[in-house]
Structure 1
Amino acid sequence: MSKFFMLFLSMSMLCSFLYGQTFFELKGIVVDENNEPLTGASLFLFPIKKGTVTDAKGNFTIDNLSKGKYELEISFVGYKTLVDTISLTGNKTYNVQLNVSALSLQEVVITNNYPETRKKEESLNIEIVNDDYLKQNLGGSLMNSLKRLPGITSIDIGSGQSKPVIRGLGFNRVVVVENNIKHEAQQWGADHGLEIDQYAVDNIEVIKGPASLMYGSDAIGGVIDMKNRKIPVNNSFGGTIDLSGKANNDFLGTSISLYGRKKWFYADVRATILDYGDYKVPADSVDIYSYRAALYKNHLRNTAGNEKDIHLSFGILQKRYRSKFYVSSVNSKNGFFANAHGLEPRNVDAELHDKSNRDIHYPYQTVNHLKVTNSSNFQWKQLKFDLDLGFQRNFRKEWSQYVNHGYMPPIFPDTLNFNPDLERQFEKYVYSGNLKLSYQWSDKTQFNFGINSEHQDNRIDSRGFIIPAYQLMQIGGFVFAKHSISDKSMVQLGIRYDHGHIITDEYFDWFPSPVVESGSTSMPYLQRAGNIHRSFSNLTWSVGYNYNSGKWSYKTNIGKSFRMPIAKELAANGVNYHHFSYEVGKADLSPEISYQLDAGIEYSSEKFAVETTPFLNYFSNYIYLNPSSEHDRLYGNGNQIYFYTQAKVFRYGAEIHAHYELFKSLQFGIIGEYVYSEQLSGEKKGFTLPFSPPPSGIFNIKYHRDKIKFVEQAYLSIDYRITAAQNNIVPPEKTTDGYQVVNIGFGGDIAIKKQKVTISLQIQNLLNTKYFNHTSYYRLINVPEPGRNFIANISIPFSGKIKNK
């Protein structure tokens, strides 16, 4: 581990002494609509991400710039963000006047024009949010905070864990990226959430649709790309104190960050502590198959949890080279609903669990995710090199009281080297590397060449078995080009080749089972998994076109994607205690192949904006769990057996996002989504896919004023969400009734002795409606969604200048 870190540091220090050339400066003045100077306006240059702020007279200077083409972003609260492309061949003066901002399509997501520019240059459909949006829509987890975006849903595990779903595709079909490195945990399990601190995220790009070309095999459904804080302005320091509370589960959260930069070096540290109790539902009991379990004071017993996170980043900034290091450790402990984890519901000690809504008893899980990454880039004339290296260790333990099933001994033997109550243990080590070369051929043409590589070593322990230990190696290379046909149109095309190899280890039961052959009985240790060696490779491609003409924007993208099967799909053979099922893999599965057509049409004027993003998708061999008529009697308690299988699948759908400015400060909006899936072959021909989200829409009214008395940037937002019934299911899924939910958000900035304080308040499920989410982890056992929830987030930013001696 220390050698790995020292290698990063040595590379950084070596490259920092490379090569010199002539540098230039960009200076100017930023004024408002009355030609008065704007003090404190932020300026950033991309792709180098170098910036500054204007002084008391509106002046700015950015020096030590190389010759080349840059994108300049200038922003100031209450004004439209200006994004312009400039060519620097010498010292340059750039004076600009900003215009007062008007509400637009992007206002609900992020309040500047950079996302709009990014969307117009990306042929896939993309949503972009910043930390302000996350705080205004704070949920129980990061994915819960993103569920308001069109086409984005989640598989929820209680109130603190959730998994991303993009257009009905989840698990290993959605890639989560943090600081350019693919986040790797145990994402194959429906009960496994993301081990990511949402307070540490500065902005998020959600790519909807196949993004395998740039991100690799698992991005067949989409990408959640997260970035941490921007590099601080030179000679500055600051930070943020975030305080959060939620009434439904007595949630208390604190996150504190500090940053500073002195010339070529900067550092940033964040610590987060969360603690919450059992969450409440608008019901006094739940029906678990044929048994009704009573709930004490509406609490879902044993769903409490806590989290402790630490993040450190620092960087070296040179004239043409920069290197950024990130170290994070996310630690959580979460209880599972005691009546729904493989135990007979009648045997749960309700008296013990109901003594306190904050204690955590069996069953529960503990997770530690350690991540160390480095991102370095070097620019020379038209060439730019990017190198990302990463190390991750995901260590998960699931605990529950030992109960013998099948031929397991009634009393756990003391000769084994693991705790009898350790139900499952997974320990994954991941080593990642990305290398990308960008070449600006001309003002109109850019080429990108890249290689992605990843090695995984996943180890298992404990009394329970569902997947074997495995080793996975993947490597892929791509070529991608952008060409501007004119000022209005752009074409993008690329090709990629991937190769992967997976090895699973054999596994034998730790207890003997009787086997009768030819009239005689033996007691062998049965084999649950064998050695599997599989290699996969495929060639994928993508072609996209963008046309932007005044108020109209059009985009289209067609491509082929591929995903290699994971260890669970190939070699699972055990009880899933969370779903009351027995799951069996298939060693000869073929990789998934997907063809998709994406389109986007957007119209935007001063008062009205609308965007629709339809898609068509065909899988020649989609992999999923298929329920059978068989039941397990050997390892569980008669659980239904599910087999991994493949089928041809056709999917289509669309999202719509529209806003209209009724008055200067009042906006009406609609957000809608629809996904349809159908199996074209196999046993379930004519059925949909598991976890298919039903159609839904949000009708929103938002009132916004620059100032109301002592509150600046004040807002009031009301969401009326309508979700249709989901009757298109795959048995044994249950149909789910439609529902309507009202959510309210309001807040703004106040000044306390010149200290800015941002307050975001929410009331989720205002009417305490009892409803079921079809994609929820607990839907199978009729657990409704959380009841009324009051949420408050207070953010206190502070900053200052470091004086030069």
Structure 2
Amino acid sequence: MKIYLTLFLVAASYISIAQQKISGTVTNNHNKPLFGVEVFVEELQKGTSTDENGYYELTNLPNNTIHLIYNYLGYETQIKTIALKNEETVFEIILEDAVFHMEEIIISTPFNKLQSENVMKVDKITVQQLKTKGAATLIEGVSLIPGVSQVSTGTGIGKPVIRGLRGNRVLVYSQGIRLENQQFGDEHGLGVDDASIESIEVIKGPASLLYGSDALGGVLYFTPLKFADENTFNVYANQTYFTNTDGSNTSFGVKQSYNSWKFLASGAYNSHGDYKIPDNKSVLNTRFNEAIFNAAIGFNSNLISSVARFNFNHSNVGIPEEIGAENTFKTPMLPYQDLTNKSVSLNTIFYLNNSKISTVFGYTKNDRKEFEEHHDEHADDDDDHDDHDDHQDDEELHPSLHLKLNTFSYDAKWHLPKTKNFEGIFGVQGMLQNNSNYGEEILIPDATINDIGLLFTGTYDFKNNSNLQGGIRFDYRAIDTEEHIIQHEDELHVFDALDKNYENFSASLGYKTTLFKVITSRFNAATGFKAPNLAELTSNGVHHGSNRFEIGNPDLKSERNVQLDVALEYDTKHFELFANGFYNYIDNYIFINPTGDFEDGYDVYKYTQENAELYGGEFGFHLHPHPLDWLHLQSSYETVIGKQSNGDYLPLIPANKFINTIRTEFNIKDWLNKGFAAITVESNLEQNNVSDFETATEGYSLLNIGAGATFVVSRINFDVSLNLNNALDKTYISHLSRLKANNIPNIGRNFIASVKFKL
């Protein structure tokens, strides 16, 4: 025991002594020091800011190569790869003026480069940018990115759609691990709130090489909250009010960082009533409540960097059905969902002589309950009843549907020694998942899923600022289910035991170069796959969230696709133009169709397959006319067409959309920073390209107005934003609204006021 204690003390003393340090000054191109420049090492989650003299210092760094990011508003972001071979390294840097925006490092791709250096086109938006755009929810804000939409059920439930693909075809990552919460259903939200994340990255296109099954359509990657700068303490709080739903969002957080250790904790509570449509009536039971808590602890030395994170999310979400009288209730009525998601993750990097090993281990526990309204509980909607009583009966009610999903995930990568032009990664990823039923009814059976994937990817940099990136991957998925025989009224619902295996090779190849010295071009070809999920294979019961009887198909095959993607960007100091086009062919596309039958009083829907293709793109520009430095004109257009091989259209394909924005930016001396005012017109065209069981939707335009700034009072920063969404109180129905079948309009005028302070 004494020997082990001695070895531990020696190792601890070595870690404390053998520290690497980097320092320097940051100036602009006029040789003036810049105060407040963010200097950050992404892989270590460690950073600092420059002082009044432009000086920065980071200590306790690994004896290895790091990527140092210099980020400052109004200047070009720079990322420097620095080999720390000496105990002290001095690195001076000059930042150049930037007109449009600060560029950020992309962490959802394997080599963590700036977007301008990335072979794959990735869109990134920060939570703060979402707030300035007036997004009422996180997923609503993500849908402002060209090529991204949402399938919504009221204001509290939204799921991402990337270039026409949704559900299990879009993989969601949070805290560096897969978000597993029965995502096959469109009728419940993601279970992620903006209180727990820093920014969102979107990969549009197959990313199975990097993430395995379920990344056939793309990836939504939530980057977690950053820690405070080294040796600093932060406190912040935010309050947002929404007039339409009489809703509120309250959040808080504390952060403390030292040389080696860092901590943070944050929480939030959201509460919304039924949303109102333009005639001042309410859409009943669109109310929801959500509580969130996050905590993280990090440690780094010259040998290791590790971060452990915990997230808790609990929400009660009503399942809407009809329009009713205006009310002020916020507790969901029957039917409603009770959703709890808990996740723990451990991200660690081990630094070797010339390489490193990164690992991510995660555990997620998802508890999903659906409470239905029984026939003897119906009441007249016009009665003055207190629907809070519904919740008081929860102790006596048993959920109609109760699913517990436990997921253990792992990801280990060896980053090969980097040469002058080449970087490579070997990796293994996988998950072990268990689904169990505890409700009165069964929609999908008890099951175990085992995934494992092996991958290699590499990138080669040419001298002419061109990059080639590619890789190959093999995946294996095993699904085992238990037999269930359920007596429901006069019918027997039988779930036969299944033992299914799915295998797949994925590959990608991309090339980035500069055309005519001014156009950045990206050409990518990639394959992806999605193994059938439990709902598609085994469903045999009433799905109250979607209000239908669903039947699975055990003979379904894996979806496999090939996508070609071309992205062109013309970028000068005062004008930016982009054009992205894609073609996506999918073998064995899985979708659900009505059969025309009825069971248990519900329409019967059954899963089926057909080859399909999707194609379209996103186009836009950003004009910053000189010398009007305060003015920005932005416009984007997105389109996607989805067809089956028999010529029929695919269901739930978003309508073509224009977004046009006029934005001004300003500062007033030292007390008002980052001021802005913006007017946005979002125009959705009519959607007549619908599947057999869909209804077409008319086009509409929405006017949104926003303004905000950061006020500095006694060294306290107050971020204030005011937004008026749907300012003209337009009556409209989104094509991707799950309430359109009942002819229920989307939300009317909504004024959103938000105040955040930071110490």
TM-score for both structures, normalised by structure 1 = 0.86
Contact 2:63 2:303 in 1 (8 A): no
| One-letter amino acid of the counterpart of residue 555, structure 1 | R
1:358 maps to 2:330: yes
Q: Give the corresponding residue for 2:423.
A: 446
Give 1:336's match in structure 2, choosing from 294, 301, 319. 319
| One-letter amino acid of the counterpart of residue 130, structure 2 | L
1:734 maps to 2:690: no
Q: Give the corresponding residue for 1:537.
A: 503
Q: Give the corresponding residue for 1:605.
A: 572
Contact 1:15 1:321 in 2 (8 A): no
Runs of 4+ in structure 1 off by over 6 angstroms are 12-22
Give 1:369's match in structure 2, choosing from 335, 338, 341. 341
| One-letter amino acid of the counterpart of residue 169, structure 1 | L
Give 2:642's match in structure 1, choosing from 641, 657, 677. 677
The 3 A distance-change label for structure 1 pair 453 and 21 is: farther
Q: CA separation in 2, counterparts of 1:319 and 1:490?
A: 31
1:277 maps to 2:260: no
Q: Give the corresponding residue for 2:604.
A: 641
Q: Give the corresponding residue for 2:235.
A: 239
| One-letter amino acid of the counterpart of residue 79, structure 1 | Y
Moved more, 248-257 or 120-129: 120-129
Moved more, 396-405 or 763-772: 396-405
Contact 2:269 2:292 in 1 (8 A): yes
1:166 maps to 2:143: no
Give 2:142's match in structure 1, choosing from 140, 146, 159. 146
Q: CA separation in 1, counterparts of 2:245 and 2:61?
A: 51
SS at match of 2:624: strand
Moved more, 22-31 or 202-211: 22-31
Q: Give the corresponding residue for 2:5.
A: none
Post-superposition shift, 1:142?
1.5
Q: Give the corresponding residue for 1:98.
A: 95
The 3 A distance-change label for structure 1 pair 241 and 14 is: farther
Q: CA separation in 2, counterparts of 1:423 and 1:278?
A: 23
Point out where structure 1 has 5 or more consecutive residues left out of the alignment: 1-11, 284-296, 341-349, 406-417, 514-524, 799-805
Q: Give the corresponding residue for 1:667.
A: 632
Post-superposition shift, 1:145?
1.3
Contact 1:624 1:646 in 2 (8 A): yes
The 3 A distance-change label for structure 1 pair 360 and 661 is: same
Post-superposition shift, 1:175?
0.6
Q: Give the corresponding residue for 1:394.
A: 366
Contact 1:70 1:86 in 2 (8 A): yes
SS at match of 1:135: helix
Give 2:282's match in structure 1, choosing from 257, 274, 299. 299
Post-superposition shift, 1:436?
0.9
Give 2:297's match in structure 1, choosing from 314, 326, 332. 314
Give 1:467's match in structure 2, choosing from 438, 444, 454. 444
Q: CA separation in 1, counterparts of 2:326 and 2:57?
A: 62
Q: CA separation in 1, counterparts of 2:376 and 2:529?
A: 41
The 3 A distance-change label for structure 1 pair 97 and 124 is: closer
Q: Give the corresponding residue for 1:211.
A: 207
SS at match of 2:168: helix
Q: Give the corresponding residue for 1:127.
A: 123
1:182 maps to 2:209: no
| One-letter amino acid of the counterpart of residue 217, structure 2 | G
Give 2:486's match in structure 1, choosing from 490, 495, 509. 509
Q: Give the corresponding residue for 2:21.
A: 25
SS at match of 1:431: strand
Post-superposition shift, 1:723?
1.0
Post-superposition shift, 1:419?
6.1
Give 1:757's match in structure 2, choosing from 705, 709, 718. 718
Moved more, 196-205 or 112-121: 112-121
| One-letter amino acid of the counterpart of residue 586, structure 2 | F
The 3 A distance-change label for structure 1 pair 753 and 66 is: closer
Post-superposition shift, 1:20?
10
Q: Give the corresponding residue for 2:534.
A: 567
Give 1:44's match in structure 2, choosing from 33, 37, 40. 40
SS at match of 2:487: coil
Q: CA separation in 2, counterparts of 1:191 and 1:14?
A: 56
Contact 2:370 2:544 in 1 (8 A): no
Contact 1:627 1:731 in 2 (8 A): no
Post-superposition shift, 1:572?
0.9
Q: CA separation in 1, counterparts of 2:14 and 2:431?
A: 29
Q: CA separation in 1, counterparts of 2:445 and 2:703?
A: 45
Alpha carbon RMSD of aligned pairs, Å?
2.5
Q: Give the corresponding residue for 2:309.
A: 326
Q: CA separation in 1, counterparts of 2:20 and 2:255?
A: 28
Contact 2:493 2:541 in 1 (8 A): no
Give 1:495's match in structure 2, choosing from 472, 476, 480. 472
Post-superposition shift, 1:81?
2.7
The 5-angstrom pairing of residues 621-640 of structure 1 reads 621-628=588-595, 630-633=596-599, 635=600, 637=601, 639-640=602-603
Post-superposition shift, 1:305?
1.6
Q: CA separation in 2, counterparts of 1:616 and 1:154?
A: 21
Moved more, 526-535 or 588-597: 526-535
The 3 A distance-change label for structure 1 pair 17 and 510 is: farther
Q: CA separation in 2, counterparts of 1:787 and 1:709?
A: 38
Post-superposition shift, 1:605?
0.1
| One-letter amino acid of the counterpart of residue 644, structure 2 | Q
- Deviation sequence 1:293-313 (CA, Å, 0-9, x none): xxxx41112221211111111
Aligned length: 727
The 3 A distance-change label for structure 1 pair 161 and 93 is: same
The 3 A distance-change label for structure 1 pair 440 and 600 is: farther
Q: Percent identity at matched positions?
A: 27
The 3 A distance-change label for structure 1 pair 743 and 13 is: farther
Contact 1:334 1:366 in 2 (8 A): yes
SS at match of 1:784: coil
| One-letter amino acid of the counterpart of residue 711, structure 2 | I
The 3 A distance-change label for structure 1 pair 171 and 17 is: farther
Q: CA separation in 1, counterparts of 2:83 and 2:730?
A: 56
The 3 A distance-change label for structure 1 pair 100 and 558 is: closer
Point out where structure 2 has 5 or more consecutive residues left out of the alignment: 1-7, 107-111, 378-394
The 5-angstrom pairing of residues 650-729 of structure 1 reads 650-662=613-625, 663-680=628-645, 685-707=646-668, 710-729=671-690
Moved more, 547-556 or 380-389: 547-556
Q: CA separation in 2, counterparts of 1:307 and 1:25?
A: 43
| One-letter amino acid of the counterpart of residue 616, structure 1 | Y
| One-letter amino acid of the counterpart of residue 665, structure 1 | W
Q: Give the corresponding residue for 2:556.
A: 589
The 3 A distance-change label for structure 1 pair 243 and 80 is: same
Q: Give the corresponding residue for 2:730.
A: 769
Moved more, 130-139 or 607-616: 130-139
The 3 A distance-change label for structure 1 pair 17 and 335 is: farther
1:76 maps to 2:72: yes
The 3 A distance-change label for structure 1 pair 585 and 469 is: same
Q: CA separation in 2, counterparts of 1:431 and 1:17?
A: 35
Moved more, 62-71 or 727-736: 62-71
TM-score for both structures, normalised by structure 2 = 0.91
- Deviation sequence 1:158-188 (CA, Å, 0-9, x none): 1112111101101000111012100100111
Q: Give the corresponding residue for 1:292.
A: none
- Deviation sequence 1:217-242 (CA, Å, 0-9, x none): 00000001111122432211113211
- Deviation sequence 1:697-731 (CA, Å, 0-9, x none): 10111111133895321111111111111101012
Q: Give the corresponding residue for 1:223.
A: 219
Post-superposition shift, 1:147?
1.2
Q: CA separation in 1, counterparts of 2:573 and 2:326?
A: 56
Post-superposition shift, 1:657?
2.9
Moved more, 329-338 or 216-225: 329-338
Q: Give the corresponding residue for 2:386.
A: none
SS at match of 2:123: strand
The 3 A distance-change label for structure 1 pair 100 and 431 is: same
SS at match of 2:226: coil
Q: Give the corresponding residue for 2:523.
A: 556
| One-letter amino acid of the counterpart of residue 584, structure 1 | I
Q: Give the corresponding residue for 1:8.
A: none
